[in-house]
A and B are shown apart, each in its own frame.
Chain A
Amino acid sequence: MPPRPDARPGAAAPARPRPRTPRARVARFTRAERWIHRTTAALMGACVVSAACLYLPQLAELVGRRALVATVHEWTGLLTPAPTLLGLASRAFRADLSRLNRFGPHDRRWLRSALRRDRSDGARPAGKFNAGQKLYAASLSGAVLVMAGTGLLMWFTGLAPLVWRTSATFVHDWLAPAVVLLLLGHIGMALGDPEARRGMRTGTVDRVWAAREHPLWRTDGDGEDTRAN
């Protein structure tokens, strides 16, 4: 780790054996990544809420305005992948996507422990993202793509023969509750971990938290990444 601007030589040095104080907080997400998360969450949220207003009879009766709600649903749904695609311009984001993609032996260990509800020390090794987060990211991405594809078939009725449209409706309708379950799980996990939320809100996390939850995460290297973007 190269010297940092805040590690002024001499500031705290006399009392300490180490030359520098390790920072208490480590960078986890860049500004670009946090905005990708925020905009995706807003689009996804509007898409799910408008879907509920179209689909659930009680809400449909309360809200009405079917043409407007349908338009909101179509456009927010279509645009949900957009922040991710635009985000590919960010090096830090690309690096995190690459981390999410790769499964090492530690991820298999994490999954085995999670399935056995094993929370003992060292039972759940994880890099910057644990295996659960990786599976969540990949399955939600796949689901969003399937929802977008089937949604487009229903939206532009001239795209494909009718059988396709009926089948697309079927897949869209049944994948929707699965997506909602995934999102509820994601939000539930975040609600249970204030430091994880702080990481997404402010960009930094407590070093102790990082060492406990993501022991294999090379936070120093990330510090470089995040500053580069």
Chain B
Amino acid sequence: MDRNTGAAEHPSADPDTADAGATERGADASGSPVGRRVILGMLGLGAAGMAAAPWLERRLDTVLAAAADKDPTGVTGLLPGAGGFRYYSVTSSVPHKDADSYRLTVSGLVDRPAGYRLADLRALPQHRIVRDVQCVTGWRVPHTSFEGVRLATLLEAAGVRPGAGAVRFTCFDGAYSESLTLEQARRDDVLVALRMRDEPLGHSHGGPVRLYVAPMYFYKSAKWLSGIEVTREVRPGYWEHRGYDVDAWVGTSNGRDDAPTA
């Protein structure tokens, strides 16, 4: 303990005597500057935490994953880095759509604009992909299966006209939008997904139908997909207007270096 100010300290048992020789701050006029040390200590801890974070994060991932397996309350799911999906919506509320009310339109630079009901999409060839999901904010969910119709199948059915260069996606939340180049959209790991983790896609995960762009950060996988429009050029989507990369390859965009998901 630092006693360099000890000479100015006074017996606490007799404040009146002590006060007589002290300033108007009374008993707290002197003493060690512990407050300052605590603040500096916190800053030091913060810096140390930054330095140790990569290692700590790996260790915690292991511990928390094990704890979450045995946790019936789900409390561990709220801890940082505990894994799992996080719900992000850009609007205040999102309408619910079911097999009756859901429609997916394909329009723009196509020969045969179309409208698909949920049953129509289910009747098309289904493909299942199992990859990691990587969010641009850092969380990653390993080995997640998505199942649905290849976007390429719908584009082929609609007949893309010459001059088209991109595909724009709109959502029935009324605000979100996304875009892919035509070349990206035709990849076979880009799905119009109807199922996730081998269950019908729930509302909070963007159901009944969402886009799934396996090789890109998850903001490209627009939830609540309601419109596919073939356009001449890429139009930046919702988050891309707010600074995110349009070509959102996992590991080589948005200044991040996560392991690629495809």
A residues near B, CB below 8 A? 55-57, 60-61, 63-67, 95, 98-107, 109, 125-129, 134-135, 137-139, 141-143, 145-146, 149-150, 157-158, 162-171, 173-176, 215-218, 221-222, 224-225
**Residues of B contacting A128 with CB < 8 Å?**
25-26, 28
B49 to A61, Cβ gap below 8 A?
Answer: no
Considering the complex, give the chain B residue whose CB is closest to the CB of A154: B137
B26 to A60, Cβ gap below 8 A?
Answer: no
**Residues of A contacting B35 with CB < 8 Å?**
100-103, 134, 137-138
A-B contact pairs, 21 of them (CB 8 A): A61-B89, A64-B92, A64-B93, A64-B94, A65-B91, A102-B30, A129-B28, A135-B38, A138-B35, A142-B40, A145-B42, A145-B46, A157-B255, A162-B255, A162-B256, A163-B54, A167-B54, A216-B12, A216-B28, A217-B27, A218-B27
In the assembled complex, the Cα of A78 lies from the Cα of B114 at a distance in Å of 49
In the assembled complex, the Cα of A157 lies from the Cα of B256 at a distance in Å of 10
A103 to B91, Cβ gap below 8 A?
Answer: no
B89 to A60, Cβ gap below 8 A?
Answer: yes
A229 to chain B, nearest CB (A): 13
Considering the complex, give the chain B residue whose CB is closest to the CB of A172: B80
**Residues of A contacting B81 with CB < 8 Å?**
170, 173
Asked if B39 is at the interface (CB within 8 A of a chain A CB), the reply is yes
B residues near A, CB below 8 A? 9-12, 15, 18-19, 24-43, 45-46, 49-51, 53-54, 56-57, 77-78, 80-81, 86-94, 137-138, 204, 242-243, 254-257
A102 to chain B, nearest CB (A): 4
A108 to chain B, nearest CB (A): 8
**Residues of A contacting B43 with CB < 8 Å?**
142, 145-146
In the assembled complex, the Cα of A125 lies from the Cα of B9 at a distance in Å of 14
A interface, by DSSP: helix, strand, loop or mixed? helix
A142 to B42, Cβ gap below 8 A?
Answer: yes
In-complex Cβ contact of A60 among B36, B41, B54, B88 (8 A):
B88
Given the interface pairs A104-B9, A167-B53, A222-B24, the reply to whether A67 lies near B90 with Cβ below 8 Å is yes
**Residues of B contacting A176 with CB < 8 Å?**
80
B84 to chain A, nearest CB (A): 8
A174 to B49, Cβ gap below 8 A?
Answer: yes
B31 to A102, Cβ gap below 8 A?
Answer: yes
B23 to chain A, nearest CB (A): 8
B88 to A166, Cβ gap below 8 A?
Answer: no
**Residues of B contacting A150 with CB < 8 Å?**
46, 50
In-complex Cβ contact of B38 among A142, A163, A170, A225 (8 A):
A142
Nearest 6 A/B pairs, CB to CB: A142-B42, A173-B80, A221-B24, A146-B46, A218-B26, A216-B27
In the assembled complex, the Cα of A109 lies from the Cα of B39 at a distance in Å of 22
A165 to chain B, nearest CB (A): 8
A46 to chain B, nearest CB (A): 18
Known contacts A102-B31, A163-B54; 19 additional CB pairs below 8 A are: A57-B87, A61-B204, A64-B91, A101-B35, A102-B28, A102-B29, A104-B27, A105-B31, A109-B12, A127-B27, A142-B39, A142-B43, A142-B46, A149-B46, A170-B53, A170-B56, A217-B26, A218-B19, A221-B24
